[in-house]
Amino acid sequence: MSKISSFLEPIDYAVVIGYLLVLIAFGYYISFVKNKKSEDESIFLAGNTLGWGSIGLNMWGTNVGPSMLIASASVGFTTGIVAGNFAWYAFIFILLLAVVFSPRYLGAKVLTLPEFMGKRFGDSTRNILAWYTLITILISWLSLTLFAGGVLVKQLLDMPMYLSVIIMVVLSGFFAAAGGLKAIAYTNVFQMLLLIAVSLLLVVMGVNKAGGLEHIYNSTPGSYWNLLLPADDKNYPWLAILLGYPIMGVWFWCTDQSMVQSILGAKNLKQGQLGANFIGWLKILDVPLFILPGIVCFVLFPNLKNPDEAYMTMVTQLFPAGLRGLIIVVLIAALISTIGSALNSLSTVFTMDVYVKNHKPNATNKEIVKIGRLVTLFGSLLAILITLAIDSIKGLNLFDIFQSVLGFIAPPMSVVFLFGVLWNKTTTRAANLVLTLGTIISLGTGVLYLWVFPNGTYNWPHFLLLSFYIFVGLSIMTYLITITDKAGQKDHQTLLRINPAAKPDKQVKILWVILTLVMIALYVIFNGH
């Protein structure tokens, strides 16, 4: 098949350039003409006003993005719906967020999760979590998104990855400088709705062109429609998913600030728990909207050499000229928004939680701005290097690269939060050692697995099983340190106990029971093929 870039016409490039120019102009207007208000307005002024609908949509919007579209279509092309476990199996950990973590987070009246853990274990843990947050932002939100953006630009312009990545960073920085990042923030809801609508249109057009769902089903291997694959399956054996995904699920849904932020802003606990239930329903849509296009691509274009091109191949082959350009520019703009926001978060966390808090509490605004810009520059350079390292990973498609990297980030946070919330005796020393030594062990294993002794060349367990083994090892470490820590730990019953009046009410329970039954039914339907 010809390169994706060869299917783009002048009108597509005109739409791309025009859309970007409009965003820059709009951002300039918002930043320098219309918005002369104080820049000191707190992002938390709207705290505790979110209803269940806003919570669910905000969480789904944070979770869904161009990276997911491209990566999900890639894994759908190669393995079918088995990757749907990362969406459907998640309901258990979203339930855990609703009934175990949310009552304690909201009861503690905190704005951030590091603040909660600071109340639980002290300032030392909060400081370590600031550095852990920096690592997480740098790898999971910045470098992986930059990698997906680089893959997209590489496909569109047919250029080396390093140039694609540099272009994405420069574009993000340029938009931020021109005020365009604010424009993207203002139009982000529209762009997200457009991405979802495009995916739906892509599925409908693809299914029709392929001859209908029945023909698609008959034209693909039976295993493409199973959520649970045999234990000897090389891609996603059922045991690896059963044991390994929970580690990632607890970290992502229960301890990641970006995901939990909407719950922290709930009007009350009931709205937070209903919002969590809503995101559980919305996650059902991930399979038909994001993974199915890859399966349809497998039927329509079985000779596609690079599965990572599945989504853009569908776009360029099925959509008319002009619309292709619109979809491409929305993907690029949303990626730039995520990259720019990640750079901003990286700069903010380091400047305020590390530099100002620990090194120069009396820093002037000019000094803070200077440090913030230096961190943004250094973070950009570091992210480029990490992204190029990710690009050097062999033997994995885009989705697997995302999940394997996240799988090695997750264990330390999952252990600390689970023990910190569920076991009152857990000590500060245990938490801090797991967050420091445990992170070195977990990320070190990931470096060995992905680069030094790459899987495929060397016989490793599945990366999800590795994540599970690291979790078990860190859990044992936490238990042993706690029971031998003579300094002990002050009582946290007040912080960790759930007020009986705050337990889920009847409506919340009924909705979670219904969702659980639906998910069980889906797992029964999508197995045995």
Following DSSP, what letter does each residue of 405-437 receive, concatenated?
A: HHHHHHHHHHHHHHHHHH-TT--HHHHHHIIII
Q: Over 80: is that where the pLDDT of 189 sits?
A: no
Neighbours of 486 (CB within 10 A): 6
Binned at pLDDT 50, 70 and 90, residue 73 comes out as very high
For the domain 124-226+284-392, what is the CATH superfamily, name and number?
Answer: Sodium/glucose cotransporter (1.20.1730.10)
Contact 276, 62 (CB under 8 A): no
Task: Report pLDDT digits (tens) over 33-62.
Answer: 655 544 443 434 345 677 888 888 878 877
What gap in Å lies between CA 25 and CA 510, rounded to an integer?
Answer: 49
Q: Tell me the percentage of the chain whose pLDDT exceeds 70.
A: 89
Element (H, E) at 357: none
| pLDDT at site 185 | 56
pLDDT in tens, 269-311: 899 999 999 999 999 999 999 999 999 999 999 999 889 899 9
The average pLDDT across 463-467 equals 96
- Better-scored residue on pLDDT, 330 or 104: 104
Structure tokens at 301: 């274009």
- Model confidence band, residue 27 (pLDDT cutoffs 50, 70, 90): low
Please give the residue that has the higher pLDDT: either 495 or 306: 306
Give the residue among 85, 58, 72, 11 at the shortest CA–CA distance from 519.
85
Lowest mean pLDDT among 136-145, 246-255, 445-454, 476-485: 136-145
Mean pLDDT of the 454-460 span: 84
Least confident of 175-179, 273-277, 489-493: 175-179
| Least confident span in 95-104, 126-135, 432-441 | 126-135
| Closest residue by Cα to residue 439 from 120, 136, 126 | 136
Asked if pLDDT for residue 473 goes beyond 50, the answer is yes
pLDDT over 80 at 490, yes or no: no
DSSP code for 284: G
∠ CA 227-230-232, rounded to 5°: 135
Give residue 379's pLDDT band: very low, low, confident or very high (50, 70, 90). confident
Q: Write the CA distances from 169 to 12, 327, 367, 409, 429, integer angstroms.
A: 22, 20, 24, 23, 39
pLDDT above 70 for 174:
no
Task: Give the C-alpha separation, 373 to 343, whole Å.
Answer: 10
Strand-pair partners of 229: 237
Query: What is the pLDDT, as a whole number, of residue 81?
Result: 96
Query: Closest by alpha carbon to 429, among 439, 440, 437?
Result: 437
- What pLDDT score was predicted for residue 331? 81
Computed over every residue of the chain, the mean pLDDT equals 85
Count of residues for the chain?
529
Instruction: Pull the structure tokens for residue 89.
Output: 């199996």
Alpha helices in 179-227 (DSSP H): 180-210, 213-218
Segment 385-390 mean pLDDT: 91
Among residues 362, 302, 276, 365, which one has the least CA distance to residue 97?
276
Higher-confidence residue: 57 or 436?
A: 436
| CB contact at 8 A, 408 and 442 | yes
Domain ranges of the chain: 124-226+284-392, 395-498
Taking only the tens place, the pLDDT of each residue in 141-168 is 888 888 988 888 888 877 888 898 888 8
Higher pLDDT, 505 or 272: 272
Give the percent of the chain with pLDDT over 90.
40
Amino acid at 370: K
Residue 272 CA: distances (Å) to CA of 96, 277, 279, 299, 314? 12, 9, 11, 41, 37
Residue type, 355: Y
